[in-house]
Amino acid sequence: MLFFLFLCIFKIMLSLQKLQKEIRLYTNPEKAKLLMQFFKTGKGEYAEGDVFLGIMVPTLRNIAKKFNKLPTSDVRSLLGSKFHEERLMALFILTYQFQNGDEKKRSEIFSLYLANTKHINNWDLIDLSAPKIVGDFLFQKGKGIAILKKLAQSHDLWERRIAVLATFQYIKYNSFKESLEIAEMLLHDKHDLIHKSVGWMLREIGKRNQSVEEEFLKKHAKEMPRTMLRYAIERFSEEERKKYLEKF
């Protein structure tokens, strides 16, 4: 019995080591430098200190498919990595396991996600995972607005962005009130990344029902940050965009 347990543990450790070894095969220092600039990792920037390996998303997705049955404990370890791409890899695996798991597994992954937001600390990590895990879990449970509001009130930039992006899943099912409530809460947020994400969600609502978006804009456009407004009206006609930008 002990031998069997040891063998299982050894195989699990080996799988994680194999994954990390495979990731390193695609390390590209030149791309890493560019990515560190693009994702604002310099002193005083929003992702200060983040470290990149220089691996592109399609490559990471392909590796994640090979290791999508990695035990949760090892995925958690990967999520705590100092390397950006390893954290993204962990989120790809969690997303796969969430989408293919039973109710217990989905609940476990949702809880793990919210307990580790300090590691989900850049906009790409959030945008590629929050709708599919946080958004989907709360939408299916039908009781998500309280949790989303709590995230939206956080002092942490990334938790606020998770709140915004999670509503994307609601929007896909033509449920707009959650996104609109979060947008209202964040109208006066000071960070550009929140302005962009809120404007993006408003634009997504407009794709499905422009009258709902316009109703929100008529009420709030005057107080919206310029970037938020620009993102929200991106799909409007040139004449309509001009009208909003000149009037508000």
Mind giving me the DSSP string for 125-162? Answer: HHHTTTIIIIIHHHHHHT--HHHHHHHHT-SSHHHHHH
What sign for the dihedral angle of Cα 173, 177, 178, 179?
A: positive
pTM over 0.85: yes
DSSP state, residue 51: B
Question: Are the C-beta atoms of 75 and 93 separated by less than 8 Å?
Answer: yes
Helices (H) and strands (E) in the chain, counts: 15, 0
Provide the pLDDT confidence category of residue 2 given band limits of 50, 70 and 90.
very low
Q: Cβ-count burial of 230 within 10 angstroms (0-12 exposed, 13-18 middle, 19+ buried)?
A: middle
Query: What are 136-195's pLDDT values in tens digits?
Result: 999 998 877 999 999 999 999 999 999 999 999 999 999 999 999 999 999 999 999 999
Query: What are 51-85's pLDDT values in tens digits?
Result: 999 999 999 999 999 999 999 889 999 999 999 99
φ/ψ (deg, to 5) at 51: -120, 130
pLDDT score of 97: 97
Query: What are 191-233's pLDDT values in tens digits?
Result: 999 999 999 999 999 999 999 999 999 999 999 999 999 999 9
Query: Has residue 38 got a pLDDT over 70?
Result: yes
Query: What are 118-128's pLDDT values in tens digits?
Result: 999 999 999 99
